[in-house]
């Protein structure tokens, strides 16, 4: 009986080099294969044309390349593309390509489903099945880069970890993926073009700061009042705002990187002056900006986007306090590709 083949992309470059030495070959063969796997995104060993046939069949014998495949691709009337991505074990995650005039942004998933329970998010309705491996995250990025070149004649320019899952609950794999994406031996993307979005896990925000990561941080705040935030994001009970705030000050002190707060204003939930005051108090002494994002309906009567006057009250007050505020329009709503709508409907 043959032993189960290993996923070759779980090996480090050194481990690959060692493998070839064990096979009586030369270590640099490991570098060549590594380049095929990570720089050229090979889907199969037969693509590795500078590797001899004999060596390729040794690789076939020992390893598999668990590449993702794009199961279905939907295009929105605004150009947004949503991919349903099939993993090697049959599970599905979604990733989104968001085009603007000058950029292409990939919105990628970090987990299958999500273990958090934000009441306004469609992904929360899916049970968390498992974490994604680093290669499964990188594959989403390369697939979208390919689509960007094909449909928009330009490479992918930005990445946001705002798809399914909580990236800080799969921190090690997300970090390994970002390493591959930014390394010259991978896709050579600048970390400044990558944003990790988290619902806010203080311990992990501190860890990221200690790790001196170079990418950007966004926090899904939605309310700066504990009772309100716990009402819509129950895990806030475990990670209250005071701890979150302290971890963000720590992040800024270490990284000198401004934080982005994502914030939806809902009627009857966080549309009062007290909500605005709390938000200002929360971010006043923290170099940050606020993105007011449009609510994307997930068919739950409790959540209705606040009207323009409430949004304007936020904008006026934030600007008065010299806090940068942007209003973000949704993209890809007609195909359920917008923030919080990823739920494997298809």
Kindly list the catalytic residues: 94, 339
Dihedral of CA 109/110/114/120: which sign? Answer: negative
Q: In whole angstroms, what is the distance from residue 65 CA to residue 333 CA?
A: 34
- Judged by CB under 6 A, which of 217, 244, 276, 298 binds ligand SAH? 298
Q: Does 261 bind ligand SAH (CB under 6 A)?
A: no
- Asked if 187 contacts 180 with a C-beta cutoff of 8 angstroms, the reply is yes
- Distance, CA of 132 to chain centre: 11
- Judged by CB under 6 A, which of 76, 80, 170, 199 binds ligand SAH? 199
Residues 119-178 that bind ligand SAH (CB under 6 A): 120-121, 162, 166
Nearest CA to 122 among 336, 270, 269? 336
In this structure, what is the dihedral angle of CA atoms 280, 285, 289, 295, given to the nearest 10 degrees?
-40
Structure tokens at 184: 């010259």
Q: Does 295 bind ligand SAH (CB under 6 A)?
A: yes
User: How many residues line the site for ligand SAH (CB under 6 A)?
Assistant: 16
The beta-strand segments (E) located in the chain are 6-7, 63-64, 69-75, 81-86, 92-99, 104-107, 111-112, 130-131, 158-161, 194-198, 216-220, 259-263, 288-293, 324-328
Q: In whole angstroms, how close is the CB of 326 to ligand SAH at the nearest point?
A: 13
- Judged by CB under 6 A, which of 48, 306, 323, 339 binds ligand SAH? 339
- Judged by CB under 6 A, which of 30, 99, 134, 340 binds ligand SAH? 340
Q: In whole angstroms, how close is the CB of 100 to ligand SAH at the nearest point?
A: 18
Considering only the stretches 19-27, 36-44, 98-106, 294-302, report the one whose residues sit in contact with ligand SAH under the rule CB under 6 A: 294-302
Q: Does 296 bind ligand SAH (CB under 6 A)?
A: yes
CB closer to ligand SAH, 139 vs 336: 336
In the complex, the residues that contact ligand SAH under the rule CB under 6 A are: 120-121, 162, 166, 197-199, 220, 262, 264, 293, 295-296, 298, 339-340
């Amino acid at each position: 009986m043959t032993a189960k083949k290993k996923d070759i992309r779980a090996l480090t470059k050194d481990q690959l080099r060692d493998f070839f030495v064990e096979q009586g070959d030369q270590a640099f063969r490991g570098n060549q294969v590594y380049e095929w796997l990570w720089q050229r995104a090979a889907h199969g060993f037969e693509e590795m044309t500078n590797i001899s046939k004999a060596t390729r069949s040794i690789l076939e014998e020992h390893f598999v390349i668990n590449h993702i495949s794009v199961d279905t691709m939907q295009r929105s009337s605004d150009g947004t593309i949503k991919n349903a991505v099939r993993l090697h074990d049959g599970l599905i995650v979604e990733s989104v390509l968001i085009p603007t005039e000058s950029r292409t942004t990939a919105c990628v998933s970090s987990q299958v489903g999500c273990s958090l329970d934000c009441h306004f998010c469609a992904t929360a309705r899916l049970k968390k099945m498992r974490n994604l491996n680093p290669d499964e995250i990188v594959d989403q990025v390369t697939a979208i880069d390919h689509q960007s070149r094909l449909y928009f004649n330009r490479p992918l320019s930005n990445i946001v970890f705002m798809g399914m899952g909580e990236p800080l609950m799969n921190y090690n794999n997300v970090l390994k993926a970002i390493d591959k994406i930014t390394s010259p031996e991978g896709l050579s993307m600048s970390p400044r073009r990558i944003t990790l979005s988290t619902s806010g896990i203080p311990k992990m925000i501190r860890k990221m700061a200690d790790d001196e990561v170079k990418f950007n941080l966004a926090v899904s705040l939605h309310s700066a009042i504990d009772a309100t935030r716990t009402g819509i994001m129950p895990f806030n009970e475990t990670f209250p705002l005071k701890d979150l705030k302290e971890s963000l000050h720590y992040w800024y002190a270490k990284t000198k990187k401004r934080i982005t707060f994502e914030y939806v204003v809902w009627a009857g939930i966080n549309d009062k002056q007290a909500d605005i005051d709390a938000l200002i108090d929360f971010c006043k002494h923290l170099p940050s900006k606020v993105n007011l994002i449009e609510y994307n309906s997930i068919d739950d009567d409790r959540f209705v986007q606040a009207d323009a006057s409430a949004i304007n009250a936020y904008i006026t007050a934030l600007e008065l306090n010299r806090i940068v505020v942007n209003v973000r329009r949704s993209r890809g709503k007609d195909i359920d590709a917008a923030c919080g709508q990823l739920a494997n409907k298809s």
